[in-house]
Chain A
Amino acid sequence: MAPIVSINNLSKTYEGGHHALRDVSLDIEEGEILALLGPNGAGKTTLISIICGIVSPTGGTVTVGGHDVVDDYRHARTLIGLVPQEITLEPFEKVFRTVSFSRGLFGKPPNSQLISDVLEKLSLLDKKDSAINQLSGGMRRRVLIAKALSHEPRVLFLDEPTAGVDVELRKSMWSIVRDLKKNGVTIILTTHYIEEAEAIADRIGIISDGQLLLAEDKEALMGRLGRKQMRIDLQAPLDELPENLSNYELERAEDGTYLTYVYDTQADRTGITALLNDLGDAGIRIRDVQTQQSSLEQIFVDLVKETP
C-alpha cells in the first residue's frame, strides 16, 4: 500500500541561514503511530510545519494521501489535523464556537453533534460555553486537540501534546490516541518523554540537528537496545578470568578491579543468579553491583551525541 505521508529529500534553511532540516526522507504508513524524538531545536516542529503548510520548504517534496502539500494543498490539507506545540487560542472565544470555527475553515458543513462528541471524548463538554481564558493549561491543550479533530482528519500531527500535562491527563491522551488509531487515523507525534514513545508508538524516529537519524519499528528498536549492563566491583583485583566463567559474556576491566556483564532484559533467563553463584564458587568476593539500562533513552542520547 502506498504510504499516506511521503517525505522526500526535504530540507529547510531559514532566512538567517540556519539549516533546520537536511535532506529528510521518510514514509509513513496509514494507521501507524510514529513518535519523533529529538533534542530542542532538532527540527521536529519545522518538519511538521512544512507538511501542514505553515512553513515553505527550501528543497524536496511531501505528499499526503498522494497529494503534494504545495501544488495540491487543498486536497492534502483536507486530510490533515494539526495540534501545534504552542497553545494559541483566542482568549475571549467560547470553546464550542472556536472548535466549530475550525471545522468550517476546513470546508466541512456545521455538525454540532460531532463537535459535542469530540468535546465529550476530551472531557470538555461541560466547558463548551466557557471562554478560553477561563480554562486551565491542560484544558486549553485539549481544546487545541478538539479543534484538530473537529474536521475529521486522516492524519493527525501532535506536536508535544503532553508537554506540561499531568500524569492522569497524559494517560488519557494516550488512550485517545489509541482510539484514533483504531479508527484508522495515522498519528505523528513529537515528544521529549521517551517513555511516552515507548508506551504508544509503533515506530520511532529520531531527529537531531535537522537529520533523521533513524526511523525504526519500536519492538525491533527495543530488542536491539533493551540490553542491560551489570558492573561487578571486586574486593581484590583479578588477573585472569577463572575457567568456570568462560562461557559468560563477561569482560574484565584492564586493572582487574571490576567485571562487566551484558545481558538481555527481554530474555527469559538473564543468567544473573548462575553468574553470581559461579563467582562465589571461584572464590571471587564482590564489593558492589551496579546495573545500567541501555534503554531507548541511552541509545537516543548516544545517537544524538554522535552527530556534531
Chain B
Amino acid sequence: MNLQAVKSIYIFEMSRTFRTLLQSIVSPVLSTSLYFVVFGAAIGSRIQEVDGVSYGAFIVPGLIMLTVLTQATSNAAFGIYFPKFIGTIYELLSAPISFLEIVMGYVGAAATKALAIGLIILLTAAFFVDIQIAHPFWMLTFLVLTCVSFSLFGFILGIWAQNFEQLQLVPLLVITPLVFLGGSFYSISMLPPLWQNVTLFNPVVYLISGFRWSFYGTADVAIGLSITMIALFLAICLGIIWWIFKTGYRIKT
C-alpha cells in the first residue's frame, strides 16, 4: 500500500478547500441560516411541533443531510472530474498507485470536507434553536457513513461525467429532490398513505430518518433498516468503483 500517495492526494485536495475556504464554508452557513429564517421562524411558527419536537429543531437533521449529501457528492465528483478534464489524470495513472489508493485519497478528502460542513451547520443551527442529541455516537456514525458513501457516489459521478453539465445536473436533479422529498422538512407520517409508500423507495428517507432518530429518538422507519440501507448503498458504490477500475471505464483507453 502506497500510503504516502494517499496522504499526498488527501493533503493536496484538502488544500484546495482551504484555498477556497470562503465559498466552501460561508455559503453552506449562509444558506442554512436562510432556511432557519424561512422555515424555522416564518413557517415554523405556524407548525409548532412535529413528533413532540419544535419544528425549528425538527428540521435540523434534514438540513444537515441536505447540505452534506450535496456537498459530498459534488466535491468528490469535482475532485476527480477536474484532473480528468484538464488532463492531469495522466499522473495518477502513471504513478505506482492502485485504484484503491486513489479512491482513498479523493473520497477521504471529500468526505472530510462534507463532515466539517455538517458539523458547522450543526453549530450554526444551535444558535437558532435548542438541539438535543440523544445518541451522539450514532449521530456521528450516521454522519460519517453518509459523508463516505455519498463521496463514493460523487466519485463515480465524476468518472462518468463527460462535461460540466452532467457533473452539475446529477446533484441538482437527483440529490436535491430526493432530499427534499425524503422528509427533511416533514415527518413521513404527515403524508397521505399512498405517498408514504412511494417515499419508501427513496433511499434518502432512511438516512434522514435514522439521523433524526439519533437526535430526538423518533424515526419514520426502523433504525436497523436505516443502517442496513446505508450499508447497502455504500456496498453498491464500492462495487461500481471496483468495476470502474477493473475495466478502466472512461479513464483508460
Hey, which bits of chain A sit against chain B, CB under 8 A? 14-15, 52-56, 73-78, 80, 82, 84, 86, 88-92, 97, 101-109, 147
Question: Known contacts A55-B252, A74-B2: does B95 contact A106 (CB below 8 Å)?
Answer: yes
Query: Closest 9 A-B residue pairs measured CB to CB?
Result: A104-B8, A88-B87, A77-B96, A105-B95, A52-B94, A74-B96, A107-B2, A107-B4, A54-B93
Report if B248 contacts A (CB, 8 A): yes
Report if B46 contacts A (CB, 8 A): no
Question: Known contacts A86-B87, A107-B2: does B93 contact A53 (CB below 8 Å)?
Answer: yes
Question: Which single residue of chain B is at the shortest CB-CB distance from A55?
Answer: B253
Report if B91 contacts A (CB, 8 A): yes
CA distance A77 to B95 in the complex (A): 6
Report if B88 contacts A (CB, 8 A): yes
Hey, which bits of chain B sit against chain A, CB under 8 A? 2, 4-5, 7-9, 11-12, 15, 19, 82-83, 86-88, 90-98, 248, 252-253
Question: Known contacts A55-B252, A78-B96: does B88 contact A104 (CB below 8 Å)?
Answer: no
The one of A75, A82, A91, A101 in contact with B8, judged by C-beta atoms closer than 8 angstroms, is: A101
Could you tell me if A54 and B90 are in contact, using CB atoms closer than 8 angstroms? yes
Could you tell me if B253 and A53 are in contact, using CB atoms closer than 8 angstroms? no
Question: Known contacts A55-B253, A56-B248, A101-B12: does B90 contact A108 (CB below 8 Å)?
Answer: no
A111 shortest CB reach to chain B, Å: 12
Could you tell me if A104 and B7 are in contact, using CB atoms closer than 8 angstroms? yes
Give every chain B residue within 8 A of A91 (Cβ-Cβ): 86
CA distance A195 to B9 in the complex (A): 40
Could you tell me if B91 and A102 are in contact, using CB atoms closer than 8 angstroms? yes
Question: Which single residue of chain B is at the shortest CB-CB distance from A100?
Answer: B8
Could you tell me if B90 and A105 are in contact, using CB atoms closer than 8 angstroms? no
Could you tell me if A105 and B253 are in contact, using CB atoms closer than 8 angstroms? no
Give every chain B residue within 8 A of A97 (Cβ-Cβ): 12, 15
Grouping DSSP codes into helix (H, G, I), strand (E, B) and loop, the B interface class, with mixed when no group exceeds half, is helix
CA distance A17 to B186 in the complex (A): 55
CA distance A197 to B184 in the complex (A): 66
Could you tell me if B86 and A90 are in contact, using CB atoms closer than 8 angstroms? yes
Give every chain B residue within 8 A of A73 (Cβ-Cβ): 96
Give every chain A residue within 8 A of B96 (Cβ-Cβ): 73-78, 106-107
CA distance A14 to B92 in the complex (A): 21
Question: Known contacts A73-B96, A78-B96: does B91 contact A105 (CB below 8 Å)?
Answer: yes
Give every chain B residue within 8 A of A108 (Cβ-Cβ): 4
A207 shortest CB reach to chain B, Å: 19
Could you tell me if A105 and B88 are in contact, using CB atoms closer than 8 angstroms? no
Could you tell me if A109 and B4 are in contact, using CB atoms closer than 8 angstroms? yes
Give every chain B residue within 8 A of A84 (Cβ-Cβ): 87, 90
Give every chain A residue within 8 A of B97 (Cβ-Cβ): 74, 105, 107
CA distance A103 to B2 in the complex (A): 12
Could you tell me if B95 and A88 are in contact, using CB atoms closer than 8 angstroms? no
Question: Known contacts A56-B253, A88-B88: does B93 contact A106 (CB below 8 Å)?
Answer: no
B182 shortest CB reach to chain A, Å: 36
CA distance A10 to B19 in the complex (A): 44
Give every chain B residue within 8 A of A105 (Cβ-Cβ): 5, 8-9, 91-92, 95, 97
Give every chain B residue within 8 A of A109 (Cβ-Cβ): 4
Beyond A90-B86, A104-B5, 14 additional pairs, beta carbon < 8 A: A55-B253, A56-B253, A74-B98, A77-B96, A82-B90, A89-B88, A90-B82, A90-B83, A105-B8, A105-B91, A107-B96, A107-B97, A108-B4, A109-B4
Could you tell me if B4 and A54 are in contact, using CB atoms closer than 8 angstroms? no
Could you tell me if B92 and A92 are in contact, using CB atoms closer than 8 angstroms? no
8 A–B pairs (Cβ distance < 8 Å), ordered by A: A54-B252, A77-B94, A88-B88, A89-B88, A97-B15, A104-B8, A106-B95, A107-B96
Question: Which single residue of chain B is at the shortest CB-CB distance from A76?
Answer: B96
Question: Which single residue of chain B is at the shortest CB-CB distance from A102?
Answer: B91
Give every chain B residue within 8 A of A106 (Cβ-Cβ): 5, 95-96
Give every chain B residue within 8 A of A78 (Cβ-Cβ): 96
Question: Which single residue of chain A is at the shortest CB-CB distance from B4?
Answer: A107
A251 shortest CB reach to chain B, Å: 51
Give every chain A residue within 8 A of B7 (Cβ-Cβ): 104
The one of B11, B91, B98, B248 in contact with A147, judged by C-beta atoms closer than 8 angstroms, is: B91
Question: Which single residue of chain A is at the shortest CB-CB distance from B5?
Answer: A105
CA distance A108 to B7 in the complex (A): 11
CA distance A86 to B88 in the complex (A): 10
Give every chain B residue within 8 A of A14 (Cβ-Cβ): 253
Question: Known contacts A74-B96, A104-B8: does B253 contact A88 (CB below 8 Å)?
Answer: no
CA distance A64 to B90 in the complex (A): 18
Give every chain A residue within 8 A of B15 (Cβ-Cβ): 97
B56 shortest CB reach to chain A, Å: 40
